[in-house]
Amino acid sequence: MSWDPFFPSESTRRSFSRRSFLRFGLGTTALSLASAKALNAAVYDSVAGLDRTFLDQESPDGAYWKALRKHYLFEDDLIMMNNGTVGPMPAPVFNTLSSAFRVQCTMPCEVYNTFGARRDEVRAKVARFLGADPGEIVLNRNTTEGMSLVANGLDLERGDEVLLSNMEHMAGISAWALQAKRRGVVVKEVPVGLPPRSVDEVVGAFEAAITPRTKVICISHTVYISGLIAPIKELSEMAHRHGVLVLGDAAHAPGMLNMNLHATGVDFWAASPYKWLGAPCGCGIFYVRKDLQERLWPSIAMSGWDTLPDARRFETLGQRADPLVFALGEAVDFQNTVGKERIQRRIQTLATYLKEGLAEIPGARLHTSMDPYLSSGLTAFSVPGKDPSVIMNYLRERYNIVVRTIGNEARGTRGVRVSTNIFVFQEHVDMLLEGVRHVVTA
Ligand SMILES: Cc1ncc(COP(=O)(O)O)c(C=O)c1O
């Protein structure tokens, strides 16, 4: 697809007359905004058109997905099968990001005239997308910030206990380690299988570890080491019976899971929409249930921390890079155009295909459950006697496929992790399987 956010085509330029810009007093800034809108509208038209053309070719590697991939900004035919750290961005998100930054640079007054209202529009959009109320959504910087907001913000006392799974990311581990050092909070680790056999196994392990001092369960909703999708709904139901709160680290969830936060019952939930959703790095989502907002102290105070009536009190941080937030709104629009249900189905289909292929490779050990309720787009595996980094490097050199190594030798979790997002094709999975087979037999 050809596009350029800074130099829109002649026809795009002509469609917005100079007179109308001058009438509204917006000049070149408006040109940039309008052209981003026009460029994005063309992408959405094309995506909607794909629905009509390719409806029956959607699966497993139909033309629909091939055409959709063209709207992502990949260079050098990169095959991104790692959605950790930062994932790729669809073109409309980049258009919105760059045009909004241009406004901020060229018409700074727009920042205080319009950016606040636009930010709240995105909040409402994100809330709808995730099944929450706008007043429960904090637009912050990343998962790490959300995890620390909870650890810092709850009134916990010396000897109060927090249960963490043994598969947590440092974002959760560090947040609670700080509270252990500073306030004497006791952090206990609960093992979850690699993979667990059932929902009951996970819920039962946590229930068995609860004591009268337990205040919080902190678990990854999307476990980055093993690809487990934690049964957050069942965990929340169990925890609430014991008066315990649940904090979900959902770094990978937006864009991967078709979910509804209210239906999960989770109390606090932190996510990084620039991994799977295609938003820009630097914008995060934090959910705090309405009836818990009075129990959580803000960690950073700016005007509004004590007067804002809802979750916005947890994002008072002076001036922020609002274009990141507007681009997050665009990422949600892009996902909605494709369809959340279809996205989840596609991700699951590819992951199942990958897992079935891995299961046939002699010696390969799956760290991820085959159960679609306990797994989604992250798949981890190891091959005893083979260094995961050899597999990772071979895949990159031979096929331009990006995966990552993960885990820890001493804990038995070290392996290769593969992400199967919607821009991955079945044929890419075939190439990956061929590469693993090659390394295994070498
Ligand atoms: C499960 C999990 N939690 C937290 C994080 C930290 O995310 P961020 O750096 O976006 O805060 C990551 C990063 O990959 C992760 O995988």
**Residue 272 CB less than 6 A away from ligand 1:** yes
Mutational pocket test of ligand 1: of 169, 170, 225, the residue with most ligand atoms within 8 Å of the beta carbon: 169
Residue 422 neighbours by CB under 8 Å, 6+ apart: 65, 68, 338, 343, 346, 347
Mutational pocket test of ligand 1: of 272, 324, 376, 378, the residue with most ligand atoms within 8 Å of the beta carbon: 272
- pLDDT score for 76: 82
270-308 pLDDT, tens per residue?
A: 999 999 999 999 999 999 999 999 999 999 999 999 999
Q: Is 7 exposed, middle or buried (0-12, 13-18, 19+ CB in 10 A)?
A: exposed
Tell which atom from ligand 1 comes closest to the C-alpha of 85.
Answer: 14
**Residue 95 CB less than 6 A away from ligand 1:** no
Calculate the average pLDDT of the chain: 90
Tell which atom from ligand 1 comes closest to the C-alpha of 144.
Answer: 11
Q: How far apart are CA 359 and CA 90, in angstroms?
A: 32
**Residue 249 CB less than 6 A away from ligand 1:** yes
**Ligand 1 mean position to 4 CA, how many Å?**
31
Q: Can you say how many angstroms the Cα of residue 279 is from the centroid of all Cα atoms in its chain?
A: 9
Q: Which residue's CA lies nearest to atom 15 of ligand 1?
A: 251
Give the global pTM. Answer: 0.91
**Residue 280 CB less than 6 A away from ligand 1:** no
- pLDDT score for 51: 66
C-alpha distances (whole Å) from 57 to each of 51, 61, 354 are: 10, 8, 20
**Residue 224 CB less than 6 A away from ligand 1:** yes
212-253 pLDDT, tens per residue?
A: 999 999 999 999 999 999 999 999 999 999 999 999 999 999
19-71 pLDDT, tens per residue?
A: 333 333 344 455 467 788 888 888 888 887 776 666 555 555 677 888 899 99
Q: Which of 13, 220, 6 is nearest to 94 (CA)?
A: 6
196 pLDDT more than 60 = yes
70-126 pLDDT, tens per residue?
A: 999 998 889 999 999 999 999 999 999 999 999 999 989 888 888 889 999 999 999
3 pLDDT more than 60 = no
Dihedral angle at the C-alpha atoms of 149, 155, 161, 167, nearest 10 degrees?
A: 0
Tell which atom from ligand 1 comes closest to the C-alpha of 220.
Answer: 1
**Ligand 1 mean position to 223 CA, how many Å?**
10
Q: Which of 311, 295, 316 is nearest to 135 (CA)?
A: 311
**Residue 140 CB less than 6 A away from ligand 1:** no
C-alpha distances (whole Å) from 87 to each of 132, 206, 298, 395, 421 are: 24, 32, 29, 18, 10
Tokens of residue 172, six digits: 């959760």
**Residue 142 CB less than 6 A away from ligand 1:** yes
Tell which atom from ligand 1 comes closest to the C-alpha of 171.
Answer: 4
331-343 pLDDT, tens per residue?
A: 999 999 999 999 9
**Ligand 1 mean position to 54 CA, how many Å?**
35
**Residue 29 CB less than 6 A away from ligand 1:** no
Q: How far apart are CA 220 and CA 136, in angstroms?
A: 20
**Residue 422 CB less than 6 A away from ligand 1:** no
**Ligand 1 mean position to 82 CA, how many Å?**
13
**Ligand 1 mean position to 42 CA, how many Å?**
33
Torsions phi, psi for 130 (to 5 deg)? -105, 0
**Residue 144 CB less than 6 A away from ligand 1:** yes
Tokens of residue 261, six digits: 């936060």
Tell me if 236 sits within 8 A of 287, measured CB to CB.
Answer: no
**Residue 419 CB less than 6 A away from ligand 1:** no
122-147 pLDDT, tens per residue?
A: 999 999 999 999 999 999 999 999 99
Tokens of residue 125, six digits: 């959009």
Tell me if 432 sits within 8 A of 354, measured CB to CB.
Answer: yes
Mutational pocket test of ligand 1: of 139, 141, 143, the residue with most ligand atoms within 8 Å of the beta carbon: 143
Tell me if 406 sits within 8 A of 261, measured CB to CB.
Answer: no
Q: Which residue's CA lies nearest to atom 7 of ligand 1?
A: 143
- pLDDT score for 6: 34
**Residue 220 CB less than 6 A away from ligand 1:** yes
Q: Which residue's CA lies nearest to atom 12 of ligand 1?
A: 251
C-alpha distances (whole Å) from 419 to each of 85, 365, 429 are: 12, 17, 10
Taking residues 201-205, what's their average pLDDT?
98
- pLDDT score for 37: 85
**Residue 248 CB less than 6 A away from ligand 1:** no
HEC string for the chain: CCCCCCCCCHHHHHCCCHHHHHHHCCHHHHHHHHHHHHHHHHHHHHHHHHHHHHHHHCCCCCHHHHHHHCCECCCCCCEECCCCCCCCCEHHHHHHHHHHHHHHHHCCHHHHHHHHHHHHHHHHHHHHHHCCCHHHEEEECCHHHHHHHHHHHECCCCCCEEEEECCCCHHHHHHHHHHHHHHCCEEEEECCCCCCCCHHHHHHHHHHHCCCCEEEEEEECECCCCCEECCHHHHHHHHHHCCCEEEEECCCCCCCCCCCHHHHCCCEEEECCCCCCCCCCCCEEEEECHHHHHHECCCCCCCCCCCCCCHHHHHCCCCCCHHHHHHHHHHHHHHHHHCHHHHHHHHHHHHHHHHHHHHCCCCCEECCCCCCCCECCEEEEECCCCCHHHHHHHHHHHHCEECEEECCCCCCCCEEEEECCCCCCHHHHHHHHHHHHHHHHC
- pLDDT score for 67: 86
Tell which atom from ligand 1 comes closest to the C-alpha of 84.
Answer: 14
- pLDDT score for 22: 34
- pLDDT score for 377: 98
- pLDDT score for 60: 54
